[in-house]
Amino acid sequence: MIEDSAGEDERRYRAPALEKGLDILELLAAAPSPLTFTAIVNRLGRSHGELFRMVQVLQFRGYLDQDPSDDGYFLTDRLFSLGMKQPRTQSLVEVALPVMRQLSLDIQQSCHLALHTLGEMVVVARMESSEQLGFSVRVGYRKPLAQVASGAVLYAFQPEDVRRRWEALLDPPLSPEELAAFRAHADAVRERRVELTPSPFVTGVTDISAPVMRGGAAAAALTVPFLKKIGADLLPRAAAKAVRAAADAISAQLVEADSRLY
């Protein structure tokens, strides 16, 4: 549960029922696997009576579903879908997809677009490789900012006050030494305007990521999980130039799209 920074006793308004529902959503969002109703009750420190109707309503409204194998509850993609309906997010994806399609054709690799959410990066759009052999990341995939190239790029191109807010959301939190290293790495990414690093999760894949700028900060990260193919001439550094150019093209088109939107 996320509490108001001013303290529980100093809040002006209380909405207990709403807070119970938010507690359930936040708990399940962080859970690595579905949780039974009893587990939800125990982890939130509330009674069965307090949460029973809340869980049933959330399930009825499509925010939760149950795993038939063990009756555990998990989040559906409804919240994600609601976020994607925001005009600014919709316009970003609409502008990015044609550029992503051309990038994928040019370098014969897949690519994806990631945004920040609660200390993590989440993939909101992807474009498959035009080749039969490739590597891609699913829409909805998320990881802590400090663990992936997209996260480093998103963090690197933010004002200092935004960086500090995002750091407080990191889960698991970084040690002082790890945080200092992450900040230094982000500053280096900001200097070169592109990240190029071996994937920490997949052997043989190089993550290449560049910022999509909006209003002076990174609104998204355009990323290619570069798979080196035998016999192919394209090298990661050449692909990085293409990724950076594509991200810049999306950024330029966003200026025009935003002027029409507002």
What CATH code is carried by the domain that includes residue 68?
1.10.10.10
Residues 213 and 169 in one domain: yes
Strand bridging mode 64-66 / 195-198:
unpaired
Contacts 24+ apart (CB under 8 A), 171-174: 171/30, 171/119, 171/144, 172/144, 174/146
Q: What is the pLDDT of residue 18?
A: 86
Q: Where are the alpha helices (DSSP H) in 121-175?
A: 149-156, 160-169
pLDDT tens profile 194-241: 999 999 999 889 999 999 999 899 999 999 999 988 777 889 999 999
Residues 127 and 255 in one domain: yes
Domain that holds residue 160: 82-261
Residues 180 and 240 in one domain: yes
Count of structural domains, the chain: 2
Angstrom distance (rounded) from CA 228 to CA 242: 16
Residues 139 and 39 in one domain: no
Is pTM beyond 0.75? Reply is no
- Burial degree of 177 (CB within 10 A; 0-12, 13-18, 19+): exposed
Angstrom distance (rounded) from CA 95 to CA 255: 10
Last residue of a domain, one of 25, 56, 76: 76
pLDDT tens profile 13-61: 778 888 888 888 888 877 878 899 999 999 999 888 889 888 998 888 8
Does residue 62 lie within any of the structural domains?
Answer: yes
pLDDT tens profile 115-144: 998 899 999 999 998 777 778 889 889 899
Does residue 31 lie within any of the structural domains?
Answer: yes
Q: Is 219 helix (H, G, I), strand (E, B) or coil?
A: strand
For residue 142, the cross-strand partners are 122
Q: What is the pLDDT of residue 147?
A: 96
